[in-house]
Structure 1
């Protein structure tokens, strides 16, 4: 790692600018298609110049210290503008443009982000700016914003000579995590948080100028942005960027890129590895050489031991080293990667499934009929900390007991934008009897054994399928909107594990009063309606739709849906299912 470029820097912009001065012609970023076709490339000098130009544009519009919404497809223009914000001292707010085919849902989320962060400008392409102007009269809020197109070479400004000064505690960007259009949450990531996490990632897997990475992950969210893109600028190695659609269409293009560019560092969610295994053919395998791949991280959704083993079995004959596997635990609230390095390849533990339901860890041999096999995703390390805490009493629990995972460290973000009470509760928690430090409550459940962290589930109701986060309240609302016979506020969406993969289940109470003319409810037709609505809104396949008798969905005394209780009742076949023909 080139310490002369990093030493004393207070922002990533300063590091990138130093690299441009010291190694102007060195390759920094390349956009690729079909796995190996190079489409657009940047040297460090070229990327620095474009970032300084965008920064000058922001300065000309008085956006220093303000927020700029970034609204781009995955593209060179997005990368330029994100870096331009860092150079200008502007708070970047990455977002994805609304999908015209799902405008009702995706536009609502965008408007929720706009209402929450109140950007001074929106940076985008000329095409999207024109689209926004066309919708301005029908969509309140869009027309009131200043829209700046950055996809033309001449922006009419002179590039800044150097990045603006930045304090460690100064905000770098807001990472929105909520899938709810009514209450989006913007994680406040400072320049210091970002640098700390980039150093943390680089140190964990020994990244440096001799490294090389490729990513197909979206650059608008934490894993694709921080590890997939920004880590390369920090550590000084070339990054190859392919589109998520390119990967999903032909998953083995990921591994073809690893082969072609001798990639050392790359990764993604569990489903990405699973897709590669399923699509592998003898002909495709024969063309691969994965011997350069030294760190293959896996996170963002539950890491499946079976998937990891199948990947090793399939690709180790093509040079993939089992020791390269790097299961990780992370979340936007810690910028990306939480403690710790682990780096021991695939480490698993068999535990008794029934005892786990009672938050007890009883080891069993892997392969035992009563055993669940869990994958270790990290450990404590210097400067960072892990604790397993009873979320009610706030006491630490001993090894071998399940509790909520709490973490601390320099990359823990500052809180949620404009949500002081939630920030206090989540980011500044204290273990009972210990006021020496504050902790981040992750909302995830797990335990420690032999110094290693194992994740058992999510205290939060977040649904993660195919590497994508889905909030149950959004899905429940979609079901209600699609089927008037469903009682409002009386449904639950959750995921269950089926054959080693997370699948979506929806349960909903049927309100027979919604049927007109005394007609009975056709449950088969209703099921088809729900499946279609969810597929159109979220591109999700529903494993099962269960219609229930009124009053069946578990709720708290205050009327809130108890999704985990509904899930347990579903798994135990304890739900009061509606009759085949509900009157």
Structure 2
């Protein structure tokens, strides 16, 4: 089958059907649409789809030349860049299975990173690992460690494939083969891969596109990393499959200068973006009305929210800042997703302001009806005096996905009852690698038991938090995510620099903040919220202490274990002991 035409050669015609609709752009790449990559010094590098297809052919030849029998994996430890895009599709083009992981900058220490990458190289049976030139030394250490463990050499390649001289053609990759292994460490220390097939990827990308009515004619900007399923499936595969104009930044570029992301939306007329809700809250804190002078958000059609529980306070702060410049909160598209379902599970279709409910959190009890104090939208939840009491809907199931709520025995619960969310459909992944991976989510009977607590109400899906990160207080559950949200109610606390850890006996808040009176106020507030039935400890720690998953969620179980074993660096800055039981 013909791939991208090589410069100076006649264009060959296709020899058969493309292996997947998601790869058809390689057969007929457009010159009038492009992917832009943010430069570190400002400005953009633009590559048309025809440019990218040619680079993919060079990357494919380089990777194919190093592929070993029985070693189909290619690991890309590469940030959002042209090297990632061409390396990823180059691996596919060579009939290999790509895996995206975080580059070294995301990890706190070299030794930990080397161990992590070496384990991923073993699990993927990788022939090669790809990274930017500045990271090749640490990747060589990982490759050597993996080679010693497996007895097979692993090639280390630069992500700059532009100097290649050989070219490859598009391979006939059957749609039944794996499209990717999506790795995450979750809340434990051991990496696990989710086995995503081409059928999974195609179904989910189609469902995502239908949710936001994406047909390829709309432009998109994202800074979500490619090693997260929202970045890879939602912001790359879904968009590139239709050859849509795409602008990619790196997460650190967004953190350093959120205005760059906002300017793409409000000054270039971009219509689609995606980010965790903290991204919008962060932009609202960093920008002023003066930064938005002349901005126009009226072209934005969808702002997809993923990777964490939706924060009504932060979303409303962004709305309040940007609404005078044409921003409409109806463009917010709150979603729920996980790698075990490829990515998207539910979403709130853009066009109406997302729904929200005011819960009676004190009465939340597993397998019982959820008590709703009030119903409304983000407009009611965000500006209220108690935004932490509100829960924003994650919308309705996307096409091809079903959502149910079950009790502890797996039996369906009625509408409005609190239980575990169980997912099924064409996006359901093919399991874990390794098959016995430690995870609070699990595959059974063709379904994914998510490990997430939630409920369905009037067709809407509401997600509270991880069942394993909940504290049981007199029959009701208090979720670590709920406590995280409540941190913002204490003056002087930036909840995005904190993480709450819970077990049956304690609440521990890790705070990457300077000591101050906020700590005593926070300990007292949380103690009152849980009725004083457990110890509450606030630990001040250095920036970078809080370990996070690929989606930015705290690795709570791992850090709680480290805390209990006194392996977590930090200083207790406030403590409220458990109060004696009355009577």
Q: TM-score, normalised by structure 2?
A: 0.74
What are the Cα deviations for residues 8-56 of structure 1, in whole angstroms up to 9, with x where unaligned?
7542553222441xx3x12220012489x54311111111111122112
Residue 387 of structure 1 pairs with residue 392 of structure 2: no
Asked if the contact 1:349/1:375 (under 8 Å) is kept, the reply is yes
Equivalent residue for 1:404? Answer: 420
Which of these residues, 26, 45, 49, is aligned with residue 44 of structure 1? 49
Distance (whole Å) between structure 2 residues aligned to residue 90 and residue 190 of structure 1: 13
Distance (whole Å) between structure 2 residues aligned to residue 499 and residue 121 of structure 1: 44
Which of these residues, 91, 101, 110, is aligned with residue 85 of structure 1? 91
Distance (whole Å) between structure 2 residues aligned to residue 167 and residue 136 of structure 1: 29
Q: Which runs of 5+ in 2 are unaligned?
A: 1-13, 376-383, 471-479, 490-494, 507-519, 521-535, 555-559, 566-573
Shift of 1:423: 9.4
Residue 574 of structure 1 pairs with residue 582 of structure 2: no
| 1:462-477 aligned within 5 A | none
Distance (whole Å) between structure 1 residues aligned to residue 283 and residue 139 of structure 2: 38
SS for the counterpart of 1:15 is helix
Which of these residues, 55, 58, 61, is aligned with residue 53 of structure 1? 58
Equivalent residue for 2:557? Answer: none
| 1:408-447 aligned within 5 A | 408-419=424-435, 426-429=442-445, 438-447=446-455
Equivalent residue for 2:34? Answer: 28
Distance (whole Å) between structure 2 residues aligned to residue 288 and residue 34 of structure 1: 23
Distance (whole Å) between structure 2 residues aligned to residue 135 and residue 575 of structure 1: 49
Asked if the contact 1:72/1:97 (under 8 Å) is kept, the reply is yes
What are the Cα deviations for residues 378-422 of structure 1, in whole angstroms up to 9, with x where unaligned?
2235532110111x2110111111111111121121111131587
Asked if the contact 2:484/2:499 (under 8 Å) is kept, the reply is yes
Cα 1:571–1:231, aligned 2, differ >3 Å: closer, same or farther? Answer: farther
Equivalent residue for 2:370? Answer: 361
Shift of 1:259: 2.3
Equivalent residue for 1:304? Answer: 311
Distance (whole Å) between structure 1 residues aligned to residue 38 and residue 421 of structure 2: 38
Asked if the contact 2:344/2:398 (under 8 Å) is kept, the reply is no
**What is the alpha-carbon root mean square deviation over aligned residues?**
3.9
Q: Which runs of 5+ in 1 are unaligned?
A: 430-437, 463-471, 473-493, 511-523, 543-547, 554-559, 561-569, 577-583
Which region of structure 1 is more displaced relative to structure 2, 8-17 or 85-94?
8-17
Cα 1:19–1:319, aligned 2, differ >3 Å: closer, same or farther? Answer: farther
Cα 1:506–1:375, aligned 2, differ >3 Å: closer, same or farther? Answer: closer
What are the Cα deviations for residues 469-511 of structure 1, in whole angstroms up to 9, with x where unaligned?
xxx9xxxxxxxxxxxxxxxxxxxxx95631264632468999x
| 1:302-381 aligned within 5 A | 302-343=309-350, 344-357=352-365, 359-365=368-374, 372-380=389-397
Equivalent residue for 1:580? Answer: none
Asked if the contact 2:58/2:162 (under 8 Å) is kept, the reply is no
Shift of 1:530: 6.5
Distance (whole Å) between structure 2 residues aligned to residue 529 and residue 223 of structure 1: 32
Asked if the contact 1:376/1:453 (under 8 Å) is kept, the reply is yes
Asked if the contact 2:58/2:161 (under 8 Å) is kept, the reply is no
SS for the counterpart of 2:358 is strand
Distance (whole Å) between structure 2 residues aligned to residue 57 and residue 289 of structure 1: 44
Asked if the contact 2:78/2:101 (under 8 Å) is kept, the reply is yes
Equivalent residue for 1:504? Answer: 499
Cα 1:126–1:351, aligned 2, differ >3 Å: closer, same or farther? Answer: closer
Q: TM-score, normalised by structure 1?
A: 0.74
Count of residues in Structure 1 that have an aligned counterpart in Structure 2? 489
Equivalent residue for 2:156? Answer: 147
Equivalent residue for 1:566? Answer: none
Asked if the contact 1:496/1:505 (under 8 Å) is kept, the reply is no
Which of these residues, 201, 217, 232, is aligned with residue 210 of structure 1? 217
Which of these residues, 449, 452, 457, is aligned with residue 449 of structure 1? 457
| 1:241-256 aligned within 5 A | 241-256=248-263
What are the Cα deviations for residues 63-114 of structure 1, in whole angstroms up to 9, with x where unaligned?
5871111122332111110011121221001122334862133333222322
Equivalent residue for 1:221? Answer: 228
SS for the counterpart of 1:84 is helix
Shift of 1:124: 2.7
Which region of structure 1 is more displaced relative to structure 2, 334-343 or 392-401?
334-343
Asked if the contact 1:416/1:422 (under 8 Å) is kept, the reply is no
What are the Cα deviations for residues 136-159 of structure 1, in whole angstroms up to 9, with x where unaligned?
7789749942223341522242x2
Residue 292 of structure 1 pairs with residue 292 of structure 2: no
Equivalent residue for 1:62? Answer: 67
Asked if the contact 1:192/1:411 (under 8 Å) is kept, the reply is yes
Distance (whole Å) between structure 2 residues aligned to residue 541 and residue 194 of structure 1: 23
Shift of 1:307: 2.1
Shift of 1:572: 9.4
Equivalent residue for 1:459? Answer: 467
Cα 1:342–1:407, aligned 2, differ >3 Å: closer, same or farther? Answer: farther
Shift of 1:427: 2.1
